Structure 1
Amino acid sequence: MVQDIVIGMAVVASLIYACRRLMPATSQRWQAALANSLSTASRPTLLRAVGKRLQPTSAAGGCGSGCGSCSTGCGPTSPTTEQPLQFRERSSE
């Protein structure tokens, strides 16, 4: 029975990790929904504290961060100009 519980916990942890890596926006929405439901005034103090701790952090993007999500037009910077690759023969010393 203990082995089943441990394997189940490992599967759930793997699922959470995969969701956070492959669907970051969706997992943040789910996390925010869970945090909001735990933070309601009708919940006990401990659950409200857990809800406050689970609240996802907001993106700290600003001008020059490269996010390109605001209407200021700062967007991602263009890549530097490309330089051609030059090969040189080894000197036989």
Structure 2
Amino acid sequence: MSTGLLAQYLLIGLAVLGSVLIVLRKLAPQLTSRWLAAASIRCNQPGRAAWLRAVGRRLQPKQATGDCSDGCSTCGACGTKPPAGAKVEATPLEFRPRK
């Protein structure tokens, strides 16, 4: 295997891994938050190197403050507010039979 082909495989693998992580963050935010918290705890232990502790602090997931302005959407009570003066109409769904 040539060096160029190996580099190509590594770049494709990194792109696929990055895509999987982005999809996981979108579809399973609580799971990835737990993973980040676990990795943060492992990295940010006393006796570790300073750079590793800095990585651990950076990996800590953001905590919800419990107020509706943080946008955590964990309780489902917060929603997007329409702009002032905007008329919001609910449109009913229409189901049409297949032809």
Moved over 3 A (4+): 63-69, 82-85
Instruction: Report the secondary structure of 1:57's partner residue.
Output: coil
- Provide structure 1 residue ranges, at least 5 long, that are not aligned to the other structure: 70-74, 86-93
1:76: how far off?
5.2
1:32: how far off?
0.6
**Residue aligning to 2:14:** 9
Cα root mean square deviation, aligned = 2.9
- In the alignment of these two chains, the number of paired residues is 76
Q: Is the 8 A contact 1:65 1:76 kept in 2?
A: no
Relative to the length of structure 2, the TM-score reads 0.63
1:64: how far off?
7.8
Cα 1:83–1:6 change in 2 (3 A) is closer
Task: Verify: 1:49 aligned to 2:72, yes or no.
Answer: no
Relative to the length of structure 1, the TM-score reads 0.67
1:84: how far off?
9.3
Higher Rg of the two aligned structures = 1
Q: 1:13-52: per-residue Cα shift (whole Å, max 9, x none)?
A: 0111011011000000001100110001131110000000
Give the residue type in structure 2 aligned to 1:43: R
